[in-house]
Amino acid sequence: MSGPEGSSIKNARLCVVAFYMGVVVQMNIDEFYMKIAYDEAMKCLDIDEVPVGAIIVKDDQIIAAAHNTRETTQMATAHAETLAIMEACSKLKSWRLDDCTLYTTLEPCLMCSGAIVSSRIKRVVYGTREYRWIALDRIIQDKSSINHHPEITSGIMEQECSQIIKDYFKNKR
Ligand SMILES: [Zn+2]
């Protein structure tokens, strides 16, 4: 699906026609998959978790889907992206996720970025930026200390992915 190294992925993205909520809609393939990651994030609202969702796609198939369950499991590593990576590795029986794309609603944190680099994920697409802490974009910029540099696309469904987190914290107050 993606072109040769360095080509403009954005322009090359296929469009898909999806049947969603009873309406046929045409959307960019990244938006299509981000919508599914967003639906994962929505599951967090039922269990009072910070709403972040992630999926992993390989050969146009979703091989893993997860949402943040840190509070529910009381597990510091239970972020959506890390859970999705663990599921994908388990499914593929390989720690290498070379040909996979990770879609996540929020820019991956320090820990999840480490898991992304370690698993050699080819491409990361995220919704909204993590402004508070050092996260994927800044980590990947450090070419000298990272041995794998995934291609990054940001700002897909940015407004929705940002709003769901803002609303969550607003309701907490
Ligand atoms: Zn994380």
Neighbouring residues of the ion ligand 1, judged by CB less than 5 Å: 79, 109, 112
At 39, which amino acid appears? D
Separation CA 90–CA 64 (nearest Å): 10
DSSP 89-135: HHHHT-S--TTEEEEEEE---HHHHHHHHHTT-SEEEEEE---SS--
* Cα–Cα distance measured from residue 112 to residue 4, given in angstroms and rounded to the nearest whole number: 27
5 flagged as catalytic: no
Q: For residue range 129-167, what is the model confidence (pLDDT) as tens digits?
A: 998 899 999 998 888 888 999 999 999 999 999 999 999
pLDDT confidence of residue 100 = 98
Average pLDDT along the chain, 173 residues, taken 10 residues at a time: 41 58 72 97 97 97 98 98 98 98 98 97 97 91 88 97 97 85
How many A from CA of 122 to the centre of ligand 1? 18
Q: pTM score, two decimals?
A: 0.86
* Spatial CB neighbours of 130, under 8 Å, sequence gap ≥ 6: 106, 107, 108, 109, 136
CA–CA separation, 22 and 42 (whole Å): 19
pLDDT of residue 144: 84
